[in-house]
Structure 1
Amino acid sequence: MTAQRARRERMVVGLLAASGMLTSLQFTSMVPVLPLIPEILDTNAADASWLITVTLLVGVVGTPVMTRLADMHGRRRMLLASMALLAAGSIIAAAIPSFTAVLLGRALQGFGTSVVPIGIALLTTLVSRQRAIMGIALMSGTLGIGSALGLTLSGPLAEWGGLPAIFWTTALVSVAFCLLIRLWVDEVPLRTPGRFDYVGSALLAIALTALLLCISRGQIWGWTSPVSFALIATVIVSSIVWGAWELRHPNPVIDVRTAVRAPIAPINIASFFATFGMYANHLLTTQEALAPASTAFGLAAPVAAAGLFVLPSALTMILLAPVAARAISRLGARFALMFGAGIMTLAFLFRMVVHSEPWSVATGSALVGCGVAFAFAAMPSLITASVPRDQVAAANGVNSVVRSLSGAVAAALFAFVIATLPSMTDAAFLSHTALTISFGFSALCGMITVILALALRVPDRKDPQ
Structure 2
Amino acid sequence: MIAASKAGASKGKGSGSMVAVLAFCGSVVSLMQTLVVPILPDLPRIFDAPAEDTSWIVTATLLAAAVSHPVVGRLGDMYGKRRMVLIILALMVVGSAICALTGSLAWVVFGRALQGLAIGVIPLGISIMRDNLTPERLGSAMALISATLGFGGAIGMPLAAFIAQHAHWHALFWTAGGIGLLDLLLVLFFVRESPVRANARFDLVGAVWLTAGLICLMLGITKGGSWGWGSAATLGTFAAALVLLPAWGWYELRRRDPLVDLRTSARRPVLFTNLASILVGFSIMVMMLVLPHVLQSPTSTGYGFGLTMLEAGLILGPSGAVSMVLSPVSARISRRYGPKVSLMLGAVLMGVTYIVSVVALDTLWKIVLTSSVIGAGLALAYAAMPDLIMRVVPVTETAAANGLNALMRAVGTSTSSAVTSAVMANMTITVGPLTVTSLTGIQTAMLIAGGAAVLGVLIAAFIPTGQSVVRTLTADPADAPARSAA
TM-score (norm 2): 0.92
Q: Secondary structure at the match of 1:407?
A: helix
Alignment of 1:36-435 (within 5 A): 36-425=42-431, 429-435=436-442
8 Å contact 2:122–2:146 — kept in the other structure?
yes
Which whole-Å CA distance do the structure 2 matches of 1:355 and 1:188 have between them? 47
- SS for the counterpart of 2:428 is coil
In the aligned structure 1, how far is the partner of 2:329 from the partner of 2:285? 22
Report the alpha carbon displacement of residue 3 of structure 1 after superposing the two structures with TM: 10
Work out whether residues 298 and 306 of structure 2, in 8 Å CA contact, stay in contact via their aligned partners in 1: yes
3-state SS in 1 of match to 2:37? coil
- 1-structure distance, mates of 2:255, 2:12: 42
> 82-91 vs 144-153, which deviates more?
144-153
In structure 1, the residue matched to 2:481 is none
Consecutive unaligned residues of structure 1, counting only runs of 5 or more, are: none
The answer to whether residue 52 in structure 2 is matched with residue 30 in structure 1 is no
**Per-residue deviation, residues 318-340 of structure 1 (Å, max 9, x unmatched):** 11111111111222111111111
Paired residue secondary structure (2:36):
coil
Deviation of 1:463 after TM superposition, in Å, equals 5.7
Give the whole-Å Cα distance in 2 for the aligned partners of 1:130 and 1:409.
Answer: 36
- The percentage of counterpart residues that share the same residue type is 34
Aligned residues: 465
Whole-angstrom distance in 1 between the partners of 2:436 and 2:118: 31
Judge which range, 12-21 or 37-46, deviates more.
37-46
Partner secondary structure for residue 423 of structure 1: strand
1:21 CA displacement: 0.9
Detail structure 1 runs of 4+ shifted over 3 Å in the superposition: 1-7, 426-429
Q: CA deviation at 1:63?
A: 2.1
TM-superposed CA distance for 1:308, in Å, is 1.5
TM-score for both structures, normalised by structure 1: 0.96
Q: From the superposition, tell whether residues 443 and 351 of structure 1 become closer, same or farther in structure 2 (CA, over 3 Å).
A: same
Deviation at residue 102 of structure 1 after TM alignment: 1.4
In 2, Cα distance between the equivalents of 1:305 and 1:101? 31
Gaps of 5+ in 2: 478-486
In the TM superposition, residue 4 of structure 1 has moved relative to its aligned partner by 10
* Preserved CA contact (<8 Å) 1:75 1:118: yes
Q: Tell me, in whole angstroms, the C-alpha distance in 2 between the residues paired with 1:106 and 1:138.
A: 26
In the TM superposition, residue 97 of structure 1 has moved relative to its aligned partner by 2.6
Matched, 1:462 2:468: no
Aligned partners of 2:282 and 2:413 also within 8 Å: yes
Letter in 1 for 2:474: K
Name the CA distance, whole Å, in 2 between partners of 1:434 and 1:205.
35
CA distance in 2, matches of 1:4, 1:252: 32
- The 1-side partners of 2:231 and 2:10 are apart by 62
Structure 1 residues 241, 319: CA separation in 2 closer, same or farther (over 3 Å shift)? same
**Shift of residue 130, structure 1, vs aligned partner:** 2.4
Deviation of residue 424 (structure 1)?
Answer: 2.8
Q: Equivalent residue for 2:456? A: 449
1:356 is displaced (CA, Å) by 2.1
Secondary structure in 2 aligned to 1:424? strand
Cα drift, residue 464 of structure 1:
8.4
Question: AA paired with 1:324?
Answer: S
Equivalent pair of 1:418/1:427 in contact (CA under 8 Å) = no
2:92 and 2:409 map into 1 onto residues whose CA distance is 20
1:437 aligns with 2:447: no
Secondary structure class of the residue paired with 1:112: helix
SS at match of 2:253: helix
Cα distance in 1, alignment partners of residues 429 and 124 from structure 2: 43
Cα distance, 1:443 vs structure 2: 1.1
Q: 1:42 is aligned with what amino acid? A: D
Code of the aligned partner of 1:431 = S
Q: Is the 8 A contact 2:98 2:111 kept in 1?
A: yes
Tell me which amino acid in the other structure corresponds to 1:440. Answer: L
1:288–1:361 contact (8 Å) kept in structure 2: no
Secondary structure, counterpart of 2:429 in structure 1: coil
